[in-house]
Amino acid sequence: MSIITVTLVILVAFLAGMEGILDEFQFHQPIIACTLIGLATGHMAEGLFLGGTLQLIALGWMNIGAAVAPDAALASIAAAILVTMKGASVSEGIALAIPLAVAGQVLTIFVRSITVGLAHGADKKAREGSFRGVEMFHMIALCLQGIRIVIPAAIILAVPATAVTTGLAAIPDWVTGGLAVAGGFIVAVGYAMVINMMATPKLWPFFFLGFALAAVSELNLIAMGLIGVVLALVYLQLAPEFNGGNNNGGNNNSSGGDPLDDILNDY
Amino acid sequence: MAEQNNSYKLTKKDRLSVFWRSQFLQASWNYERMQNVGWAYAMIPALKKLYTTKEDRAEALKRHLEFFNTHPYLASPILGVTLTLEEEKAAGAEIDNAAIQGVKIGMMGPLAGVGDPIFWGTIRPVLGAFAASMALSGNIMGPIIFFLAWNLIRMGFLWNTQELGYRQGSNITQNLGGGVMQKITQGASILGMFIMGVLVPRWTTMNFPTVVSKVVFDPAKNAQDADKIVDFTSLISGANQGKLETSQIREVAAQIQQGRSISGEQVTTLGDIFNQLIPGLMPLLLTFLCIYLLRKKVSPIVIIFGLFVVGILGYVLGIFA
């Protein structure tokens, strides 16, 4: 492995680590992180495939409030390095990604706790009226989150490929076979997390409609998306809770119609 | 009317700078005051413009280092409103710290509740699933589309809602209460639940190879069995005598299309029986089991490990393949 490859991999790890906390550009999502590692190492096909599979598992991973989701950043980066540089197979990478996601969760909590101290540093700078001081503490915290992924990634990079492959070869067939089988249906947990957050009695019929259509028809995801959007629009037009507002007059403006339209018209 | 002073008016450039910095809102997320430093960081370009003395700046920074936490994207409308309030305060209006803090706290709770189902619950899973399916077929457009579409939607949303908040000022709380947010949330949830229903049978793989029944067709014993297996005899005799004709091959192909048995036996696995009821039944039941466990406060990671154990046991016992 060349210096350039290592530098690029470390850079991607740093970006993914920062995004693990920012959650804005999505460099920590498996589909992005694994593909970038694949590009950096010249094994794009493996990275792409690993990223796609891990992405399905991670669909429901989200940071809500103060809760920390399993760490997609460490799982993606570490698994991608193992698969593209250390000779692990894609299914081995997926199996290893899950314990790595838990380890990353612990690291995230650790950095979030250290950051309490940095916030106090920012307070001190604020009392002096120093904008630069506050900015500095903010950026140190961000870099710590990046380093949280860079250090484990560097350790994995340092382990020789032969050690990884002999280690993986020592795993018996029943483990790898079983993990590959479980990889097929582990995505159900991700679906369950998303559904659990959104489900209300009113929404369940839409779930079953989607299920039945997908099970018995060959429609692709774009067609399904269109059907879903149409259903949502029709529902919003017909639902009594959004149409009862006409008789109370009151605060709506002269058009008397849909406030969404008013906002759109304002643009 | 108060005297207008241009130094108390934020330009588009100032607001763009706040918008750019708002993307780093969570960089110093901490367990004590959560997004507080990120919030102050985003406000700095405006505070720098509005306040010039050291005392005013210290005061403003302290005001914005109070506890803050919301959905990272829904902080934008709150930023917009706060910018207007700070503008008015700097120009001399009677706005105290508690009023600004009140607006921030009053908006962050309800808006977080809107952002979670729309961004984390609908747009990202739908885009992610779509991109993953492209990636799994080896198409590099999967991650590219995911990255571009997500960031276009996100940045468009951040900038437009920040501007909306800035223009509307403190009126925004009443406007957002007018059912618009409820409508958007409801529409997004419908789409999200529908797509989840689509994904469950499509992208979950569960194979049950256990043989439930095996019927052997033997025309020598049962004359009707001859109609159930593909008749290769004419093909073989034709080929061996060098007189194979296309019509014979067509005949064999037609028999295969009719669903006749090629091997002379019919095997029904457990998986076939499940699929006859409705394809995707077992993934659906598994998803429901996971939802049940999540509602019983079982951690997702525990469930994932549990499923790995189930997968290994099932593989060893031959229930799964």
Rounded average pLDDT over A47-76: 85
Mean pLDDT, rounded, for B101-112? 76
Residues A168 and A210 in one domain: no
User: Mean pLDDT lowest for which of A124-133, B166-175, B231-240, B285-294?
Assistant: B166-175
Whole-angstrom CA distances from B274 to B69, B203, B209, B284, B300 are 47, 16, 11, 11, 27
What's the Cα-to-Cα distance from B112 to each of A168, A197, B29, B84, rounded to whole Å?
A: 44, 13, 16, 21
Residue B137: pLDDT above 60?
Answer: yes
Q: Can you give the residue range of the structural domain that contains A260?
A: 199-266
pLDDT (average), residues A231-242: 87
- Please give the Cα distance from B99 to B119 (Å, whole number): 29
ipTM: 0.77
d(CA A212, CA B289): 19
pLDDT at B6 over 70: no
Distance of CA B242 to the CA centre of its chain: 61
pLDDT of B178 strictly over 60:
no
Provide the b/e sequence for A45-77 (b: ≥16 CB within 10 Å). ebbbbbbbbbbbbbbbbbbeeeebbbbbbbbbb
Q: Are residues A153 and A214 in the same domain?
A: no
In sequence order, the β-bridge partners of residue B268 are B213
Tokens of B51: 């306040």
Q: Is A166 in the same domain as A206?
A: no
Could you tell me the sign of the dihedral formed by the alpha carbons of B230, B234, B239, B244, in that order?
Answer: negative
Tens digit of each residue's pLDDT (9 = 90 or more) over A243-256: 765 444 344 443 44
Task: Flag if B146 and A204 touch (Cβ within 8 Å).
Answer: no
Cα–Cα distance measured from residue A24 to residue B16, given in angstroms and rounded to the nearest whole number? 17
Average pLDDT of chain B, as a whole number: 85
Nearest alpha-carbon partner for B61 in B39, B31, B78? B39
- A246 and A125 in a common domain: no
State how far the Cα of A267 lies from the Cα of B9, in Å rounded to an integer. Answer: 22
Distance CA B76, CA A56 (A): 29
Residues B217, B218, B223, B226: is their CA dihedral positive or negative? positive
Tell me which residue of A192, A185, A102, A51 sits closest to B137, measured CA to CA: A51
Largest CA distance in chain B: 109
pLDDT value of position A256: 42
Query: Which site among B30, B70, B134 would you substitute to test the A interface, given the most A Cβ atoms closer than 10 Å to its Cβ?
Result: B30
Whole-Å CA distances, B194 to A208, A215, A255, B129, B290 = 7, 13, 32, 13, 18
Residue B120 pLDDT greater than 60, yes or no? yes
Convert the pLDDT of each residue in A192-204 to its tens digit.
Answer: 887 887 788 889 9
> Do A232 and A114 share a domain, yes or no?
no
Same domain, residue pair A166 and A221: no
Flag the least confident range among A9-13, A46-50, A165-169, B142-146. A165-169
Residue bearing the bigger pLDDT, A255 or B180: B180
| Nearest beta carbon to residue A25 from set B151, B278, B308 | B151
pLDDT above 90 (res A1):
no
Helices B54-64, A90-127: inter-axial angle, 10-degree rounding: 140
Question: Is A193 inside any structural domain?
Answer: no
Choose the final residue of a domain: A153, A172, A191: A172
Residue B128 Cα, gap to closest chain A Cα (Å): 7
- The amino acid at residue B161 is T
The mean of the pLDDT values for chain A is: 85
| A40 and A153 housed in the same domain | yes
Q: Nearest-CA neighbor of A16 among A103, A153, A156, A146? A: A146
Q: Which one of A135-139, A177-181, B31-35, B112-116 scores highest in mean pLDDT?
A: A135-139
Q: What is the pLDDT of residue A252?
A: 41
Q: Is the pLDDT of residue B19 over 80?
A: yes
- Closest residue in A to B32 (Cα) is A116
- Cβ separation of B128 and A44 shorter than 8 Å? no
Confidence band, pLDDT 50/70/90 cuts, at residue B3: very low
Classify residue A210: in a domain, yes or no: yes
Residue B193 to residue A232: CA distance in whole angstroms: 10
Q: For B189-210, what is the mean pLDDT? A: 82
Tokens coding A38:
């694949």
Domain check: are A51 and A92 in the same one?
yes
Nearest CA in chain B to A71: B301
Which residues from A are below 8 Å from B128, CB to CB? 29, 31, 55-56, 58-59
Please report the pLDDT score of residue A18 as a whole number: 96
Mean pLDDT of B184-201: 82
Do A31 and A144 have their domain in common? yes
The single-letter DSSP state of residue A242 is G
Amino acid symbol at A102: V
> How many folded domains does chain A comprise?
2
- For residue A234, being part of any structural domain is answered with yes
Q: Do the domain assignments include residue A14? A: yes
Per-residue confidence (pLDDT) for residue A164, from 0 to 100:
80
Residues A105 and A232 in one domain: no
Whether residues A85 and A164 fall in one domain: yes
Q: pLDDT digit string (tens) for B145-171?
A: 999 999 999 999 999 999 999 998 767
- Chain B residues near residue A179 by CB distance under 8 angstroms: 308, 311-312
Same domain? A139 vs A74: yes
Q: Residues with Cβ < 8 Å from A101, sequence gap 6 or more?
A: A61, A70, A71, A72, A74, A75, B301
Give the pLDDT of residue A265.
55
Q: Does A175 touch chain B (CB under 8 A)?
A: yes
- Using a pLDDT cut of 70, give the percent of chain A over it: 89
A177 occurs within a structural domain: no
3-state secondary structure chain B: CCCCCHHHCCCHHHHHHHHHHHCCCCCCCECCCECHHHHHHHHHHHHHHHCCCHHHHHHHHHHHCCCECCCCCCHHHHHHHHHHHHHHHHCCCCCCHHHHHHHHHHHHHHHHHHHHHHHHHHHHHHHHHHHHHHHHCCCCHHHHHHHHHHHHHHHHHHHHHHHHHHHHHHHHHHHHCCCHHHHHHHHHHHHHHHHHHHHHHHCCCCCCCCEEEEEECCCCCCHHHHHCECCCHHHHHHHHCCCCCHHHHHHHHHHHHCCCECCCEEEEEHHHHHHHHCCCHHHHHHHHHHHHHHHCCCCHHHHHHHHHHHHHHHHHHCCCC
Question: Of A52, A183, A188, which has the smallest distance from its Cβ to B142's Cβ?
Answer: A52
Residue A50, CA distances (Å) to A88, B287, B307 in order = 11, 23, 20
Q: How far apart are CA A9 and CA A157, in angstroms?
A: 9
Distance between CA atoms of A72 and A17, rounded to whole angstroms? 9
Most confident of A62-66, B269-273, B282-286: B282-286
Residue B238 has pLDDT above 50, yes or no: yes
Identify the helix (H) or strand (E) that includes residue A91: helix A90-127
Classify residue A184: in a domain, yes or no: no
